[in-house]
A and B are shown apart, each in its own frame.
Chain A
């Protein structure tokens, strides 16, 4: 049963809008640490909490109201100069935004959030009164009878509600009749009893006596950590679309409707035997037009799914800040290219890998402040996160100016962990060695303890990116830093493919991987260490028969080879024949997931074409054919 029955629409709007607002607040808080006196920032943050509180009030989320009320008051005092920001206050505020984010999470599941940890409320109240967090606890050992903070808000509302007309009239009268009497006094008489009971009573919450607040230094990084790991867990189910884009879809579907009408008329004509050249020409034209319109519509619909990557990026400065603070490092995360657009689904799936890479950069990439100073670098480390569109691809780069990665150390580690054998280790060049960090099980000990609370290792980063038809490359210079480059296709909705045939069955392979098509003449095929290879322009490429890869018997000797290139290696896929290129929409297979098959699509004549997932296919084929643990990786590096 939903705790928000009858308010679902409102709730959804509130969550979408407030989550964005909270992310902005989070980023402004990170900014604020650099410029604690910036009035505009303080004002913006104040307004952010104020707005969230207002919305939460209408949804009857009392816990959020009472929490935001405190942070709002806090920022009111900060902007008025009554309080001065210090790291302790900052920690409390950041913990509070984390809790608000958690509340959004439970609200997204239609549950009313649980009450706020009294320790946090007490700490905020203490800060509000200009005391230290620790003293908040000692002062409340003999609690007075408590009033719930939320009832206080209601009281305030009612009191002022009834007072207003009287108040207003009295004020008007005062002003009109007796100029010299002070209206302020008349008003204060009405207002006094309702004046912010929150500040006075909430610290007497009896819960405080039962659960003393931990000293802020010890508890806060942990709270912040929990908050940041949870804040990204909820997936959005709604999307905001620029109305211009929506109008375009509407326009095109209207035009398609018109073309359909034209075709219906033509069908009637043709069915009744009217087959003259004018009719047929009209048919040809109408179909041609439909073709164009459907293409445009597909593009327009795809565009409605495109979202600026800034939506993801904006969550990371806080993440980097919390982690850096926790580790005693000074790190600034610089973000650029937020406006770059990406398919919504990809955006969501990209979050985990990016979080991991950002954490990795702060945790492993960047040195401690002492180390940096010792090696003559600026004390503050810089991690850059950028996105750009390059042709039909999106490129995302995470660059740090840290210690860089040493290929020899990585090789040794992989060897020690038994992930590769000594021969493989010796045969890897430096670039290939860096790729070893993506092997499952490579993650180092400290990674598990402090950083990857989510249990995501580098191998998952790579797998996730590959699922999106993307790839990750690493560049690293020892002493200067590392750069992870992620390349992704613009969308997953429409995939350009090459349709090939094996055993009379069509298969589609992603066109992005196809370099060229060659004819295979048997005399060219040479055996090199037990593998069929062909030399193409001085490059020795292994030949993999598609029939064998999917575990079928070849019915004929393959005639054609498709030269395929994946992230790190090239090979020739041997097929019987090919049909041509096509833009397909992949439909995932339900309930079954054959190895190496990404999904199915329909061909022009209505038959089903399986779309191959080459990486998966090669990996499973290699795993089947070879018992040696290293072979998969060795293959990938061929």
Chain B
């Protein structure tokens, strides 16, 4: 089982959405959560903090979620980080793009704590392998 102290970074330009994700994570027992409002801020925080998991929105100004994902995978220090992509719908080309860029998982808004839990468990299981 995953460490409940695992440090999450929630990335979304809409603060209400960050709060939603944070609350859902809290429901699952993950309370060590920081936030960033776009990819750039997130990347900066990731490079300077010990984060263990990234939950990021796709559509953001300055630096989108997919650009963030690519930047993480391209960074020697960060490339191992699990990244869960959050988007509003499942479009074929989006999923392909996320998959090829190396997303660890993909969750469609709106989702419940149970859905999120399921996604996280799968990702943890994959890491554990």
- By the criterion CB–CB under 8 Å, are B106 and A58 in contact? no
Q: How far is the CA of A97 from the CA of B61 in the complex (A)?
A: 21
Q: How far is the CB of B79 from chain A (nearest CB, A)?
A: 15
- By the criterion CB–CB under 8 Å, are B95 and A13 in contact? no
Q: How far is the CA of A51 from the CA of B57 in the complex (A)?
A: 10
Q: How far is the CB of B126 from chain A (nearest CB, A)?
A: 8
Q: How far is the CB of B47 from chain A (nearest CB, A)?
A: 25
- Tell whether A183 is near chain B: CB-to-CB under 8 Å: yes
Q: How far is the CA of A192 from the CA of B95 in the complex (A)?
A: 12
Chain B 82-126 interface residues, beta-carbon cutoff 8 Å to A: 88-92, 95-96, 99-100, 103, 105-111, 115, 118-119, 122
Q: How far is the CB of A89 from chain B (nearest CB, A)?
A: 22
- By the criterion CB–CB under 8 Å, are B107 and A161 in contact? yes
Closest to A50 in B: B59
User: Which of B20, B91, B96 lies in contact with A10, CB distance below 8 A?
Assistant: B20
- By the criterion CB–CB under 8 Å, are A18 and B16 in contact? yes
- By the criterion CB–CB under 8 Å, are A164 and B105 in contact? yes
- Tell whether A194 is near chain B: CB-to-CB under 8 Å: yes
- By the criterion CB–CB under 8 Å, are A160 and B95 in contact? yes
- Tell whether A14 is near chain B: CB-to-CB under 8 Å: yes
- By the criterion CB–CB under 8 Å, are B92 and A54 in contact? no
User: Which of A18, A55, A188 lies in contact with B92, CB distance below 8 A?
Assistant: A188
- By the criterion CB–CB under 8 Å, are A13 and B19 in contact? yes
Q: How far is the CA of A50 from the CA of B60 in the complex (A)?
A: 10
- By the criterion CB–CB under 8 Å, are A51 and B90 in contact? no
Q: How far is the CA of A192 from the CA of B15 in the complex (A)?
A: 33
Closest to A59 in B: B110
- Tell whether B41 is near chain A: CB-to-CB under 8 Å: no
Chain A 190-221 interface residues, beta-carbon cutoff 8 Å to B: 191-192, 194-196
Q: How far is the CA of A171 from the CA of B115 in the complex (A)?
A: 22
Q: How far is the CA of A191 from the CA of B96 in the complex (A)?
A: 10
Residues from chain B with a CB closer than 8 A to the CB of A10 are: 16, 19-20, 23
Task: Give a binary string over A36-68; 1 marks a CB under 8 Å from any B CB, 0 the rest.
Answer: 000000001011001101110110100000000
Q: How far is the CA of A168 from the CA of B61 in the complex (A)?
A: 27
Task: Give a binary string over B52-64; 1 marks a CB under 8 Å from any A CB, 0 the rest.
Answer: 0000010111000
- Tell whether A165 is near chain B: CB-to-CB under 8 Å: yes
- By the criterion CB–CB under 8 Å, are B61 and A47 in contact? yes
- By the criterion CB–CB under 8 Å, are B15 and A17 in contact? yes
- Tell whether B17 is near chain A: CB-to-CB under 8 Å: yes
Can you show 24 pairs from A to B with CB atoms below 8 A apart? A17-B14, A18-B16, A44-B61, A46-B59, A47-B61, A50-B59, A50-B88, A51-B14, A54-B57, A57-B88, A57-B109, A72-B88, A156-B108, A157-B108, A159-B90, A161-B118, A161-B119, A164-B119, A165-B105, A168-B106, A184-B96, A187-B95, A191-B90, A192-B92
Known pairs A160-B90, A160-B95, A187-B95 / 13 extra A-B pairs, C-beta < 8 Å: A13-B19, A53-B88, A54-B57, A54-B88, A55-B17, A57-B109, A57-B110, A156-B108, A157-B110, A167-B95, A183-B96, A191-B92, A195-B92
